[in-house]
């Protein structure tokens, strides 16, 4: 495989990633040829329905899948390191030190038998050469940075003693305590109420700009993507079907699945108007169709859609669509 010239300039560079899981006599093709670049300081959202491959792609970037039943092929470079080739020690340094993750449910991600402060101190001392006293001071600063009230008291609190929104802030503080360059967020606001959701999204955006972080944010909520992302990659059936700047996709979405997602939102609808839905069901990842995975649910599908997986068409300005209904613009249009 030839090296992409932009890969060395990317915080994350994924090329032709395939992830399959084996078990129970089945092979689940969860990710099927994903390629994605995330620039330093950029926030990218992966959006799509449950089962589209978003979280699997995210966790592959840190090699978090169980190795015995997982097969990954392709290339993943994080901070110019080949993640799939790292040994255990190098992988341990990468996790937390270079790239950190914020999980969907902090009550499960945080250790219930240790205080929040103890867990942050442990992370700091694992990745930074500081004394225990210095680490405790840095842990306090980490909680202050995520706007937790009474941070001194929260250092001594156990996860179950904190509210959902406060636990999520503590999880963000833990993830950022070792000063990583990249933050992966796996639907971190799904379990929170609407008011707390927007607070956490604003906090993540502010921290990203202050610290120059690269962020990959997984969500099924386009509204959340609008708040945090510079660019969006829409996933379906383990593939990226459309990708581009957030404003471009909101204004000029071209893939039928992206359009359907946008139309299924309540935003902008009149009172009493019926909410539009996407008919059919997501594909069986153990028996994917030979062509476009969305074709069985697409009102515009043609025979060619069922035959072959469509390639990506570039529409300019980083906007790419994988759909047989979309044609590449003429050279004169691109130049214009």
> What's phi and psi for 329, nearest 5 deg?
-70, 155
How many whole angstroms separate alpha carbon 244 and alpha carbon 317? 8
Kindly report the pTM of this predicted structure.
0.89
Report the DSSP pairing between strands 26-38 and 12-23.
antiparallel
Confirm whether 252 is domain-assigned. Answer: no
Confirm whether 174 is domain-assigned. Answer: yes
Confirm whether 165 is domain-assigned. Answer: yes
Q: Which of 201, 204, 205 is nearest to 224 (CA)?
A: 201
pLDDT tens-place string over residues 24-51: 889 999 999 999 999 999 999 999 998 9
Confirm whether 72 is domain-assigned. Answer: no
Q: What residues make up the domain containing 141?
A: 108-179
Confirm whether 135 is domain-assigned. Answer: yes
Q: What is the pLDDT of residue 89?
A: 94
Q: Which two tokens stand for residue 102?
A: 């914020």
Q: What is the pLDDT of residue 14?
A: 97
Report how many domains make up the chain: 1
Q: What is the pLDDT of residue 266?
A: 56
Q: What is the pLDDT of residue 222?
A: 87
Confirm whether 140 is domain-assigned. Answer: yes
Q: What is the pLDDT of residue 6?
A: 47
Q: What is the pLDDT of residue 252?
A: 94
Mean pLDDT taken over the chain:
90
Show the DSSP H helices in the chain as ranges: 54-60, 88-97, 106-109, 116-127, 132-145, 151-155, 164-176, 194-211, 222-228, 246-252, 256-263, 303-307, 331-335
Q: What is the pLDDT of residue 167?
A: 92
DSSP letters spanning 147-183: T-SSHHHHHT--GGGS-HHHHHHHHHHHHHTT--SEE
Segments of the chain with pLDDT less than 70: 1-8, 266-273, 330-336
How many whole angstroms separate alpha carbon 192 and alpha carbon 219? 13
Confirm whether 129 is domain-assigned. Answer: yes
Confirm whether 94 is domain-assigned. Answer: no
């Amino acid at each position: 495989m030839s090296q992409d010239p932009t890969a060395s300039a990317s915080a994350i560079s994924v090329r032709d990633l395939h992830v399959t899981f084996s078990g129970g006599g089945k092979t689940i093709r969860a990710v099927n040829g994903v390629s994605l670049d995330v620039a330093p300081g950029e926030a990218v959202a992966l959006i799509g329905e449950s089962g589209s491959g978003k979280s699997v792609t995210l966790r592959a970037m840190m090699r978090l899948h169980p190795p015995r039943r997982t097969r990954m092929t392709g290339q993943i470079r994080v901070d110019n390191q080949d993640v799939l080739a790292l040994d255990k020690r190098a992988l341990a340094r990468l996790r937390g030190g270079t790239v950190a993750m914020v999980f969907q449910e902090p009550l499960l991600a945080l250790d219930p038998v240790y205080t929040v402060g103890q867990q942050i101190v442990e992370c700091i001392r694992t990745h930074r050469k500081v004394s225990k006293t210095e680490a405790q001071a840095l842990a306090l600063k980490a909680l202050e940075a995520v706007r937790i009230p009474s941070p001194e008291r929260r250092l001594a609190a156990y996860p179950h003693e904190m509210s959902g929104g406060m636990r999520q802030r503590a999880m963000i503080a833990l993830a950022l305590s070792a000063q990583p360059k990249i933050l992966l967020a796996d639907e971190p606001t799904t379990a929170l109420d609407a008011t707390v959701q927007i607070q956490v999204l604003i906090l993540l955006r502010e921290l990203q700009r202050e610290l120059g972080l690269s962020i990959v944010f997984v969500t099924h909520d386009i509204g959340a993507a609008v708040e945090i992302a510079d660019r969006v990659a829409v996933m379906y059936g383990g593939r990226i079907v459309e990708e581009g700047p957030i404003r471009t996709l909101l204004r000029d979405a071209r893939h039928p699945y992206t359009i359907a997602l946008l139309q299924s939102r309540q935003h902008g609808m009149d009172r009493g108007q019926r909410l539009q839905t996407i008919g059919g069901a997501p594909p069986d990842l153990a028996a994917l169709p030979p062509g476009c995975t969305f074709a069985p649910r697409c009102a515009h599908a043609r025979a060619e859609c069922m035959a072959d997986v469509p390639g990506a068409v570039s529409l300019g300005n980083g906007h790419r669509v994988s759909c047989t209904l979309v044609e590449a613009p003429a050279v004169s249009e691109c130049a214009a």
